[in-house]
Amino acid sequence: MKESLDVFDIAAIISELRELEGCYIDKVYQSKDEIFIKIKGKEKKEIFIKNGKWICISKHRRSQQEHPPAFAMTLRKYIGNGKIMGIRQYDFDRIVIFEIDSKGSKYRLIIEVIPKGNIILVDEENKIIMPLQYQKWAHRVLKIREEYTFPPSKKDPQEIDFEHFMEEIKEGKDVVRGIVRLGIPGKWAEEICIMAGVEKGKSVEYVSEEEMKKLYVSMLELIKKLKENIFSPVIVKENGKEIDVLPFPIKKYDGFEIEEFSSVNEAYDEYYHRVLRKGEEEKQQLKIEEERERLLRQIKQQEEAIEKFVKEEKNLRKQGDAIFANYEMVEKILKGEAEVKRKKYPKAWVDLPYGDETIEVEVDLTKGVYENAQQKYEMSKKMKEKIEGAKNAMNETLEKLKQLEKIVIKKEEKEDKKRKKKFWFENYRWFISSDGNLVIGGKDAKTNEKVVKKYMEDEDIYVHADVHGAPSCIVKARDIEGNKLPIKESTLKEACQFAASYSKVWNQFSVASAYWVYSWQVSKKPETGEFLPRGAFVIRGKRNYEKCVLEVAVGKVRIEGEEKVMGGPPSAVKKWAEKWIVFVPGSEDKNRVAKELAELFGCSVEEVQAALPPGNLAKKEEKL
């Protein structure tokens, strides 16, 4: 199971993080060894950093300390409202560098995603302003005002030629260990062996030059994918459990269950949230259970102690009463004129009648009757105080248990919200037409490309708004469960309205045009001399246009027993949702509306934001 990022992961994540260049740092939060950096740009995003283990753009909310620690306050002071000028990977290593301009000065925020890692803020003179934690080795020191030095570098496989590649491989005991010497993680070294068709455990002395060439070419192929941002991020599962997350599938996991994602950061965020965060929460849960058991044991002991104290207090009071009730008998005993049960001077034990019973009483032969009785009453009084103290202590323990059980209830409520099945189409824009057809659309150029190349079948229909920057939409000739379903005219009209409303014309017009064509009219092959950018397609033949009113409805629908927030044409949402709101372009802030709807629907803000159109809104009608 993957527990931290390797150099391949870092390279893929940074390729998307670079989209934040030119954006501004809003706020910085911290919870122990976790840092959260809120980013201001076209869309608000948050960078999550787990010291020494993880970094990605995250959509999951995490707890933050009520009073920001010194490190978070330092970051706010120096780079708050700063502009991100660059994000890069240092020497194909597990080190991420943010270059930031703030208040007329230049800073670097260096994230070392390595064992015993650190997060360090450095000024333009390369002096450390503050590290997350003080560290010292023989070769470098990480503390305030020291000059920052990078950890010792490994070899960079991107820069190695074939001759040096062979030399390094031959230094290993076997092929896979030779490849690891190049700074390539073990899993990826194994993948290179599989791609090249060379047994990973083969002794290097028996590897031919031809096999060496195959290994070298395979390594370059992997690196090329990273350099050219050729990603198809997946989470790998074994027996239903997540075991790895990758920027693209690898042969090592052929036959394993994989879950696809539309972006690298989304995949890595989901993996961390589901696996590593869950593991941390399970440890916390175990601590809570252990504490609960301890408190229950303590309460039982306190109850037993109180019961014992009550019996002792009652017995002491009875002894005092019995001494007074048998005044003459006790006086004779104290004078030595009567027999005692047993004696150990100056104590004696006698049986005295008390009501319908006889009780054993301890007396002090050096004291009088009154003093002996009074002593019992004083001891009884002290025992009452002891009982009161024990009851107070038990009440404190009960209160601790009550507070602990509140935490458990809150965690269970959160888990109930988390236990939602995610469907593959949720990686894209989607809705179910009023006729029951599934309609999906891209969120950006990358996902536009994917919905067409991966999900468009012969009987499907392609839909696009008649503007640049609109989503590519596919009307599936299937229902939500994958059963075949004819595409009716009403569904095509809804799909056109969907494509237009989720395009850049929202907030510019109230009406826009969209068209639909058959799947065979869509091609990725441009005319001679033309160039097609990512996410763009050539349409050949007749386009069937629809004039569309820009409206989007949002409602809660049930799919296979799971409640989902669906955004789409009002006619479709009204068909499937009991509660819904129709929006038109307006001036209400999208993020504020999302928060209101999240509270109304009892779901996350992110789930609502995914269903809303790309701009500010105005409510037109609602059924709640």
Which stretch of DSSP H or E encloses residue 4?
none
- E strand segments, 75-114: 83-89, 95-102, 105-112
Judged against a pLDDT cut of 90, whether residue 337 lies above it is answered with no
Name the pLDDT band for 411 (thresholds 50, 70, 90): low
- Return the SS3 of 387: helix
Would you say residue 286 has pLDDT above 70? yes
The pLDDT value recorded for residue 291 is 86
CA dihedral (284, 287, 292, 297) in degrees, to 10, reads: 180
pLDDT of residue 6: 96
Predicted confidence (pLDDT) at residue 564 exceeds the cutoff of 90: yes
- pLDDT tens per residue, range 198-237: 999 999 999 999 999 999 999 999 999 999 999 999 999 9
Instruction: Scan for tokens 């965060």, then name that residue.
Output: 277
In this predicted structure, the answer to whether residue 417 has a pLDDT above a threshold of 60 is no
pLDDT at 308: 95
DSSP 488: P
pLDDT, residue 418, reads: 52
Going by DSSP bridges, is the β-strand pair 83-89/257-260 parallel, antiparallel, or unpaired? unpaired
Instruction: Provide, rounded to the nearest whole percent, the portion of the chain with pLDDT above 90.
Output: 73
Cα separation, 408 vs 80, whole angstroms = 36
Compute the Cα dihedral for 365, 366, 367, 369 and give only its sign. Answer: positive
User: What digits encode the pLDDT tens for the residues 425-440?
Assistant: 999 999 999 999 999 9
55 to each of 267, 276, 539, how far by Cα in Å? 12, 13, 40
Enter the tokens of residue 499. Answer: 């494509």
The whole-number pLDDT of residue 94 equals 96
| pLDDT class of 275 with cuts at 50, 70, 90 | confident
Query: Which of 40-49, 326-335, 376-385, 445-454 is the most confident on average?
Result: 376-385
Cβ(378)–Cβ(393) below 8 Å: no
407 — pLDDT class (breaks 50, 70, 90) = confident
What is the structure's pLDDT at 231?
A: 94
What's the pLDDT tens digit per position in 340-368?
Answer: 788 888 898 999 999 889 999 999 999 99
Tens of pLDDT, residue by residue over 489-519, are 999 999 999 999 999 999 888 999 999 999 9
- Residue 81 in this model has a pLDDT that exceeds 80: yes
| 509: DSSP letter | B
Q: Is 41 helix (H, G, I), strand (E, B) or coil?
A: coil
> Is the pLDDT score of 30 beyond 60?
yes
570: Cβ–Cβ under 8 A, 6 or more apart, which residues? 551, 552, 553, 580, 582
Taking the CA atoms of residue 175, residue 181, residue 187 and residue 190 in that order, the dihedral angle to the nearest 10 degrees is -10
DSSP state of 19: G
pLDDT at 283 over 80: no
The CA-atom distances, in angstroms, between 260 and each of 234, 332, 423, 427, 512 are: 5, 96, 10, 8, 33
Confidence bin at 260 (pLDDT 50/70/90): very high
Q: Which residues contact 31 (CB under 8 A, 6 or more apart)?
A: 62, 63, 64, 65
**pLDDT over 70, % of the chain:** 96
Q: Is the pLDDT of residue 61 over 70?
A: no
SS (H, E, C) 125-172: CCEEEEECCCEECCCCEECCCCECCCCCCCCCCCCCCHHHHHHHHHCC
Most confident of 226-230, 259-263, 460-464: 460-464
Q: How confident is the model at residue 59 (pLDDT cuts 50, 70, 90)?
A: confident
Give the residue among 431, 417, 581 at the shortest CA–CA distance from 495: 431
Hey, what's the torsion of the CAs at 448, 454, 457, 462, to 10 degrees?
Answer: 0
Cα-atom radius of gyration of the chain, to the nearest Å? 37
Q: What pLDDT, on a 0 to 100 scale, did the predictor assign at position 63?
A: 62
Give the tens place of pLDDT for each residue, 94-120: 999 999 999 999 999 999 999 999 999
What pLDDT is recorded for position 306? 95
Beta-carbon contacts of 559 under 8 Å, excluding residues fewer than 6 positions away, are 423, 432, 480
Give the sheet arrangement for strand 617-623, strand by strand: 562-568, 552-559, 580-588, 617-623
Residue 87 binned pLDDT confidence (cut-offs 50, 70, 90): very high
For residue 331, report the phi and psi dihedrals to the nearest 5 degrees. Answer: -60, -40
What's the rounded Cα separation, in Å, for the pair 504 and 614?
A: 7
Q: Which residues contact 485 (CB under 8 A, 6 or more apart)?
A: 435, 436, 437, 476, 477, 478, 479
pLDDT above 60 (res 373): yes
DSSP state of 409: H
Band (pLDDT 50/70/90 cuts) for residue 280 is low
Average pLDDT taken over every residue of the chain: 91
Residue 277 has pLDDT above 80, yes or no: no
- Which pLDDT score, from 0 to 100, does residue 281 have? 65
List C-alpha distances in Å: 534 to 19, 449, 498, 501, 530. 16, 7, 22, 22, 13
Strands 54-57 and 45-50: antiparallel
Q: What's the pLDDT score for residue 583? A: 97
Return d(Cα 416, Cα 106) in angstroms, integer: 45
Per-residue pLDDT at 273 exceeds 70:
yes
Burial class (CB in 10 A: 0-12, 13-18, 19+), 25: buried
Residue 276: per-residue pLDDT: 80
Residues in the chain, overall count: 624
